[in-house]
Amino acid sequence: MQIFRAVVEAGSFAGGARKLDLSNAMVSKQVARLEGELGVRLLTRTTRRLQLTAEGERYLQGAGRLLDELHELEASLGEQRGEIRGRLRLSAPLDFGVRELMPALQAFEEAHPAVELEVVLEDRRVDPLAEDFDLVVRIGELEDSSLIARPLMSMPIHLYGAPDYLARHGEPEHPRDLGQHRCLHYSLQRGGAGWHFLVNGRLERVRFRPVLTCNNGRALIEAAARGMGLVLKPSFLGEPEVRRGRLVRLLEAYAPPPMQVHLLYAERRLMPARLRVLVDALLSHFQASPTGGEP
């Protein structure tokens, strides 16, 4: 079962073999043996890729549940002796994970060295249930009603520009002035090129035509610091450059509400102790510094 799942996750026999530190021949032999015992074909093999059969899909789901339950049982036996051990798979947005999450995980790992963490950093909305994540950090609105959501922090948002840019183009006095400025757009933002500001107590969207579009927030902050345009980003990205004198905040009177950051995880009949301890550790860490880099 473990070999079969590793092959499917890796997309090849060679990849599964590397993951489990086994030979290609051993992996191929064990999958063939499994198919022989079951009397069905689980995988179709081509020169380019492996593909699950309908029986393979069904077996992978059932085998995955059994393996997860087995791992939970093994870990729980150790946890009963006061040991926190086992594997946790965590997903978070890239920039937030690098700058904000890693310090918290360092403290957790130092306290619980027997826990194996797999951290996946990417800027997309993952499905914790379908993609086998124990814990997901979600920034922004929540849509996963079947998941437990724990508030982690409020993340202030500011408009930033470089002193050099402002000397050349002037400083916007109102959000509507942004139509006359060079704006930098985060391509993974929902709803296209536009920013929200609080105008007369109401949230209004200001649209613009970006001069630069990028899928990485840190790169956009760097572009803004180099005078390429204005950018609306979380304070944990912008404030370090403000302290260095490379950026200044703009339109503070119209700053949008902070974005909310949550921890998401599936409801379980018996929550593993290692996951509970990790959730508590992250909540404690961010409550001690809840404003995402604000001075």
* pLDDT tens readout for residues 67-89: 877 776 766 666 555 668 788 99
Token match 């902070």: residue?
A: 258
Question: Which residues face 52 on adjacent strands?
Answer: 43
Q: What tokens does 128 get?
A: 């914790």
Looking at residue 282, what is its pLDDT?
95
Looking at residue 293, what is its pLDDT?
46
Spatial distance between the Cα atoms of 135 and 150, rounded to a whole number of angstroms: 11
Spatial distance between the Cα atoms of 255 and 118, rounded to a whole number of angstroms: 36
Looking at residue 79, what is its pLDDT?
59
Looking at residue 295, what is its pLDDT?
45
Q: What tokens does 281 get?
A: 């550790």
Looking at residue 294, what is its pLDDT?
52
Looking at residue 147, what is its pLDDT?
85
DSSP 37-99: HHTS--EEE-SS-EEE-HHHHHHHHHHHHHHHHHHHHHHHHHHHTT---EEEEEEE-HHHIII
Looking at residue 109, what is its pLDDT?
92
What does pTM read for this prediction? 0.69
pLDDT block averages, 10 residues each, the chain of length 295: 88 86 90 92 80 90 81 64 79 92 92 91 82 88 80 94 97 94 91 90 92 94 97 95 97 93 82 88 84 48
